Amino acid sequence: MAGIQWMIKGPWFTSCNCDIGCPCQFNSLPTHGDCRAVWGIDIEAGYFGDVRLDGVRFAGLIAWPQAIHQGHGEVQPIVDSSASLEQREAVLAIMRGEHTKPGATIFSVFATTIDTMHDPLIGPIEFEANVSAREARMRIPGVVDCTGEPIRNPVTGDTHRALINMPDGFEYTVAEIASGDVTTGDQAGIDLNWKGAHAHFVELHWTHEGVVH
């Protein structure tokens, strides 16, 4: 691991093409045989060495033809256009799993499974996420539009709350489980399209050493 120390905190929203609950969270094979996902975060507080990351937004599209651990994946990083050049370089390094203890974050793990790194996209990221309410909207014009909402009881329509607790997880400690809808546009290098699939919300807190549990 290189010597730059970093930290990011903020609301994190992700959705994948698996059924709600996502077998990958339990070391099982993905629902449909392949794994496709989108993520986004609005960094409330953070730094990368001497570079402050407060207020920076970044996102990503990612896909594997089989389960994640079987490799041959592709990823497209996206950084909000309001970020400075130094901030862009910092979050792209984090997304590549650089300056991170091996296996300590999902990006460090994912980096070992990726064959194709698409050129980063720089553009406006509209992002709103309420972790406790399980509600989110992320829109990157021409690239991706996704929403998250609470799971609902199929009989009463009432919201249903479920959590996953991973004391040693490399993405989070506790996640609020939700339902996600995702579509991609003509500027996306990876095609994602689903309704009512898995989503989860996290109060993310990572450092170069991994998830702060």
**What value does the mean pLDDT take over residues 62-67?**
98
Half-sphere exposure (Cβ direction) of 205: Cα atoms closer than 13 Å = 5
Q: What's the pTM?
A: 0.95
What per-residue confidence (pLDDT) applies to 48? 98
What per-residue confidence (pLDDT) applies to 2? 57
pLDDT tens per residue across span 115-154: 999 999 999 999 999 999 999 999 999 999 999 999 999 9
pLDDT tens per residue across span 146-198: 999 999 999 999 999 999 999 999 999 999 999 999 999 999 999 999 999 99
Contact between 181 and 195 under an 8 Å Cβ cutoff? The reply is yes
What per-residue confidence (pLDDT) applies to 3? 82
Q: Does residue 85 sit in helix, strand or coil?
A: helix
pLDDT tens per residue across span 2-60: 589 999 999 999 999 999 999 999 999 999 999 999 999 999 999 999 999 999 999 99
Burial code of 78-114, b = ≥16 C-beta within 10 A, e = fewer? bbbeebeeebbebbbbbbbbbbbeeebbbbbbbbebb
Contact between 148 and 138 under an 8 Å Cβ cutoff? The reply is no
